[in-house]
Amino acid sequence: MRLKVLVDLPRHSPLDPLLDYLAPEAWPAGTLVRVPLGRREVCGIVWGPGDELASPDGEGGAVVLREIAQALDALPPLGEAWRRLAAFAATYYQRSLGEVALGALPPDLRELDATQLVRRLRRGDKLDREAAKAAQAASAEASPVPEPSDEQREALAQLAAMPPGPVLLFGATGSGKTEVYLREAARVLEAGGQVLVLVPEINLTPQLEARLAARFPGRRLVSLHSGLTPAQRLQGWLAAHRGRADLVLGTRMAIFASLPRLGLIVVDEEHDPSYKQQEGARYSARDLAVWRGRAEGVPVLLGSATPSLESWHNALPAAEGGAGRYRRLDMPARIGGGALPRVRTVDLARIAAQFGKRAVYSQPLAPPLLEAMRERLARGEQSLVLLNRRGYAPVLHCTSCGWKSDCAHCSAWRVFHRSDRTLRCHHCGFSERVPFACPSCGDPDLQPMGRGTERLEEQIAELLPGARIGRIDADTTRHKGSLESQLAQVHDGEIDVLVGTQMVAKGHDFRRMTLVAAVQADAALFSSDFRAPERLFALLMQAGGRAGRDAELAGRSEIWLQTWHAAHPLYAALRRHDYPAFAAAQLLERESAAMPPYAFQALLRAEARSQQAACDFLETVSAATLDWPEAAEVLIFPPVPAPIQRVADVERAQMLLEASSRQALHRLLARWQPVLAQSAARTGEARVLRWALDVDPLAI
């Protein structure tokens, strides 16, 4: 008997990843198997019956098929819905089916044989029994369920009356969106379904995991994210696949979890760009969640206080210029009647005119903002100072000859980290000790330029003597458990002023925080990326949402923005907390410029030893489409260097494709694949090292 088995072949292999193998019995589609492939034995997935007709081998004989080594039939087959999801993701994002489907499985699972799998399942059974006992013991200590607010009650009633499909839950920060998730999850669990909850970042999982465990103590909860050990990830995946886990909480990779009883998908902070994978198969977990919900007939809750413009457009009725694909539920009020923070702008241009630019650049905090923080300190309240740049200073420079700390391997500067006295490139990782003198002229007077979180923490400590200053960024949270420890200090009131990057600007519930300040709010106002204003508005509103979470303190909570452009329309909308007005203005600009969501894009990136080779590759594949009928509806822009042109001694270039029709773009991309592979096969200095096709790119 012949079976089609899906294997993970190299992306540009001439072989189809669905290969025929001989099998002693008809294992059902979705069964995991071990099969010989070349000199290796690899994991594969039975995809269906093979072609029973003999195939010529080019010499008049018949192809000699190899046999499946063994079936991992102790594990239930992967369901049809899961296989459809993998097939759709591979087709839409222009990747190999084997790469997507096998890559979605835990790495440890792909290495197990049948005997090892049985051992793991037995171990899993033991863990399940222990978890069941613990859940039974904890169920008697279930935390009390809070009474829903009127808005929450109305949202839940509307959800119950709606047919399954995507719903945008548009709620202000602190409006209680999580409680809506929990109550909708409870309804699904009572009906015997499984719930998948997606969060954008790993650091948001601990507090939500604790809340889910407290609300559903008798239910099995597992996490799926890259911060787990391979063994933990495998056990969580197996529990979900076997139907033992009722709730699955994870980052973007969890969208591919096998859930035989899926009843609800929640995408929290759906606007976050972290849901888009940036390496390998560049999929969007949010978009796949919407597709999976439609395909499996389950509701999808997309929650955000600042939805992505794509989701907002999809939730707008056609009569208002939207697509009308999603339904929208609004929750504009905070729980307990707390007021949203007052937004105050500090006009740096006015301060510079009064005191001189040197006074502005030498101090991180303007006098009015510093006074407001002193008031919080006197009242025992907390402040958050946001600066989305880690390190001490972005550049170290010589005042004598103008030397700057550039990276020898990238077209970028090396960042000065004072804590370990290093100059570190955040792109390739190249690091060196700070030189004792300028490498160019020998002057020992090297000065930092600009400001990072490390320097900001030091300067605030000088301005607020006696204040307890904390810092949370990628440098202070490298070690396991460090983030949880620092967040606990904030929650326990052991920190007066918290300095942080965007990783503390979303999802965290700081009850004593009454002031949030963005000290460099203008960074993205005039970016070449058309999505930069959307991201800036979301970041500032989400950061401001950390203030005034406690209703008793909400009346004096404030967001302070230090800006050189106080009259900018973005800040005007932010002062009113008016996301709909901001979104309407942005969508109008996007429509007039034919930008997403009114157009559909793909970005082809190329890497080579020289910029000329990368651009030549892009020009070659672009020229191949000139006579294609599929190219008539697609605009292909000329190749340009990437924003960071050189990384780790590799030159990078990119080329944008744009179409007014999604179908037209994908017809061209599908025909393009063999041309890309053939053009990349050149040898010598002119060859391209890597290329990647990014469908629906978020960074251009």
* Tokens 């959800």 belong to residue: 159
What is the CB neighbour count within 10 angstroms for residue 357?
12
Q: Give the list of residues 6+ apart from residue 487 with CB closer than 8 angstroms, or none.
A: 207, 472, 508
With 0-12 / 13-18 / 19 or more C-beta atoms within 10 angstroms meaning exposed / middle / buried, residue 344 is middle
With 0-12 / 13-18 / 19 or more C-beta atoms within 10 angstroms meaning exposed / middle / buried, residue 40 is exposed
- Give the C-alpha separation, 117 to 109, whole Å: 8
- Give the C-alpha separation, 650 to 38, whole Å: 32
**Residue 148, token pair as written in the block:** 């829903």
Look at residue 359 and give its three-state secondary structure: helix
Residue 398 among known ligand-binding residues: yes
- Give the C-alpha separation, 625 to 634, whole Å: 10
- Give the C-alpha separation, 456 to 100, whole Å: 43
Residue 410 among known ligand-binding residues: yes
Q: Give the list of residues 6+ apart from residue 314 with CB closer than 8 angstroms, or none.
A: 166, 168, 322, 323, 324, 325, 326, 597
Residue 425 among known ligand-binding residues: yes
Give the start-end residues of each E strand in 283-411.
Answer: 300-304, 327-331, 342-347, 382-386, 395-398
| Distances in whole angstroms, Cα of residue 607 to Cα of each of 184, 279, 297, 622, 682 | 46, 14, 41, 16, 13
- Give the C-alpha separation, 601 to 698, whole Å: 10
Residue 615 among known ligand-binding residues: no
What is the CB neighbour count within 10 angstroms for residue 462?
9
Task: Single out the residue of 54, 92, 69, 87 nearest to residue 22, CA to CA.
Answer: 69
Residue 43 among known ligand-binding residues: no
- Give the C-alpha separation, 219 to 213, whole Å: 8
Q: ω into residue 332 within 30 of 0, thus cis?
A: no
Taking a C-beta distance cutoff of 8 angstroms, is the pair 430, 411 a contact? no
Positive or negative, the CA dihedral 144, 149, 155, 161 is: positive
Burial letters 501-525, b for 16+ CB under 10 A, else e: bbbbbbbbebebbbbbbbbbbbebe
Return binding residues for Zn(2+): 398, 401, 407, 410, 425, 428, 438, 441
Return binding residues: 398, 401, 407, 410, 425, 428, 438, 441
